[in-house]
Every structure is written in structure tokens, then in C-alpha cells.
Chain A
Amino acid sequence: MAASRLPPAALSLKQFLQRQKVLCLYRTLLRTIRLVPNEADRQYLTSWARDEFKRNSGAKEEDTIRMMVSQGNLHLQELQRTLQLAKS
């Protein structure tokens, strides 16, 4: 069987998918923050999101990453619910 042609730094499929999930979460979070009406709140939230993601960007274990992604999803849902309440 031919040797794998992938470079050594390439991610495995699971890691690749996880990376995609993280980036997708970050993008959705930024898009939701854009909808916040108050300008000062928006800036606070974007800096908060940026710091959180940057701080945990060094994590390597799959389980840690998964836990953090689900936490991020909870935060995102809370933010979306608050926005919907504020809009109505």
C-alpha cells in the first residue's frame, strides 16, 4: 500500500472537523453579536469572545475542545434568546 501523501502537520479527520466546528461557532457568535443594538455592549461582547477563544486556542485534547465548544454553544444560545426577548 502506498505511503500516506499527507504532510506530517496535517490534521486527522476528527481534528479537522473539530477545527471547523470551532471556527463555525466563532463566526456565528460574531454574527449574533453584530445584532446587539447597543454599541458599547457590542464592543464588550466582541472583545470578550475574542479573548475567550484566544485563551483556549492552545488546547490540544479532543475532549477539552469538545467541552469548550459545547460551553460556547450554550453562551451563543443564551445570547440569541436575550436578543429575541429584547426585540419583541
Chain B
Amino acid sequence: MKAQLRELNKDMSALAPLSPFALWDECSAQPAIMASRVLVQCVRSFTQPSARVIFENITARAAAVPVANQRHFSFNACSQRKALTSHTKVSSPLAQLCRQYGDLPPLTLDTIRERVLYVLKLYDKINPEKLTGASHFIKDLGLDSLDQVEIIMAMEDEFGFEIPDAEAEKLMTPQEIVQFIADKKDVYE
């Protein structure tokens, strides 16, 4: 393959100094046809990306050379380039089919629990060592009802939806909060 490339390079460099008008002859167009055939072979056999870069340079130079049967040649070069690019971007038609929407990552029970415990650890009145999933705010952690209100407000801020008063005052452990949020957000596992 590399030998073919070197040959091709020689051909191209041989063509370059010739004036454009000279190449309009049938006989001098022969090397161009040969070159296009070699190009076709090269495209089919090349798979490495480094070789592809060299190849694209060659196609750029080859396309710049005006030839008698330029339509054939450029068509070949275009089809090769198209074949090359379609080989690289296989997923593009699929990518066009699926539409993309902006949204938050989906909630799972584990992520909810992590976020709830993270917010609780940030609260300065809670001792992080004593904090477990089942630790009661008032009985175990020694907080009072005002702190519980603050904690529920922090959960509202974290998860972005309002928790009504009647339900908020019943949430007394982190596990209950996780359960409530999972119920509200339809998170099943």
C-alpha cells in the first residue's frame, strides 16, 4: 500500500509541472486515468486514519490538476471523498433521525438519597457522623421544628418543586423525605 502511495506521489509530481493546456490531449490524459484507478484502489484498501490524512492531501492535489476527462476524474475523486467521509460518519443519518431535548438527568432512588444526605450534611446544625437514613430529626439529631422547616425548604430548593405544609411537617427522617420525593417524581425501582 505504501509503495502504491509512493508511486502515486511520483505520478502526481510528474503531472504538476505540465501546463494545463498540455493535459487536454488524449494521450497525456492517460496517467490521470491511471491515477484515478489507483485512487479507487487506495480508498478501498485504506482504513488507517493516518493513511487517510495522506490520502486526502493527495485527492486535494489530484483534484487541483485540470484534465481532459476532468468530469470523470473529479467525479471519482468526489465519490472517493464521499465514500471516505461516509465511512467515517456512519452514524450521521441516525443522528439526524433522533431529536435531542434538553432535560435534567433522570432521577433514581440512589441519586435522590445521595442528594438528600448531601444537603443534610451541608446543614450546619447536623452532625454528619450521626446522620443515617433513619435518623429522626427531632429525637435522634436534636433539632427542633423550626430546623425541620428549614431542612424541608432546603429540599425544595434542591429538587426544584414545592412541598405543601401538611405533608412537609410529617417528614421526620431522611428516608421519609426520599420516599416522598420518589412518590412525587414517579421514581420506581
**Chain A contacts to B: CB under 8 angstroms:** 19-20, 23-24, 26-27, 30-31, 34, 50, 53-54, 57
In the complex, how many residues of chain B place their beta carbon closer than 8 angstroms to a beta carbon of chain A?
Answer: 10
Evaluate whether A30 and B144 lie within 8 angstroms (CB atoms) in the complex, with A23-B169, A24-B165 already known: no
Which 6 A/B pairs are nearest by Cβ-Cβ distance? A30-B153, A26-B149, A27-B149, A53-B146, A23-B149, A24-B165
The A contact surface, by secondary structure, is: helix
Within 8 A of A (CB), among B142-189: 144-146, 149-150, 153, 157, 165, 168-169
**Chain B contacts to A: CB under 8 angstroms:** 144-146, 149-150, 153, 157, 165, 168-169
Closest chain A residue to B169, Cβ basis: A23
Closest chain A residue to B154, Cβ basis: A30
Q: Judge whether A27 and B145 touch: CB under 8 Å.
A: no
Q: Judge whether A54 and B145 touch: CB under 8 Å.
A: no
Bound-complex Cα distance A53 to B150 (A): 12
Chain A residues whose CB sits within 8 angstroms of the CB of B150 once the complex forms:
30, 50
Chain B residues whose CB sits within 8 angstroms of the CB of A26 once the complex forms:
146, 149
Q: Judge whether B144 and A27 touch: CB under 8 Å.
A: no
